[in-house]
Amino acid sequence: MRIALGIEYDGRGFSGWQRQTGTRTVQECLEKALSKVADAPVNLVCAGRTDAGVHAVGQVAHFDAQVLRSLRSWVLGANANLPGEISVQWASEVDETFHARFSALSRRYRYVILNRWVRPGLLRGKVTWQHAPLDLTPMREAASHLVGRHDFSSYRALACQAKSPIRTVHSIVLTREDDCLYLDIHANAFLHHMVRNIAGVLIAIGKGEQTADWSREILEYRDRTRGGVTAPGDGLYFVHAEYPDVYSLPQPSRPPRF
**What residue numbers does the annotated binding site for substrate cover?**
109
Binding residues: 109
CA neighbours within 13 Å on the CB side: how many for 84? 0
Distance CA 127, CA 116 (A): 12
Which among 51, 95, 234, 245 is annotated as catalytic?
51
Q: Is 51 one of the annotated active-site residues of the chain?
A: yes
Chain centroid to CA 203: 19
What backbone torsions phi and psi does residue 85 show, to the nearest 5 degrees? -80, -10
Are the beta carbons of 75 and 92 closer than 8 angstroms?
Answer: no
Taking alpha carbons only, the member of 49, 43, 158, 173 closest to residue 101 is 49
- C-alpha triplet 155, 160, 163: angle, nearest 5°: 100
- C-alpha triplet 11, 46, 222: angle, nearest 5°: 80
User: Do β-strands 180-187 and 106-115 pair in parallel, antiparallel, or remain unpaired?
Assistant: antiparallel
Q: How far is CA 81 from CA 54, 70, 72, 93, 201, in A?
A: 22, 17, 14, 21, 40
Beta-strand runs (E) in 75-165: 86-94, 106-115, 128-130, 148-151
Cα-based torsion angle of the residue sequence 180, 105, 191, 217 in order, rounded to the nearest 10 degrees: -70
Q: How far is CA 150 from CA 170, 206, 221, 230, 231, in A?
A: 11, 23, 12, 19, 21
Catalytic residues: 51
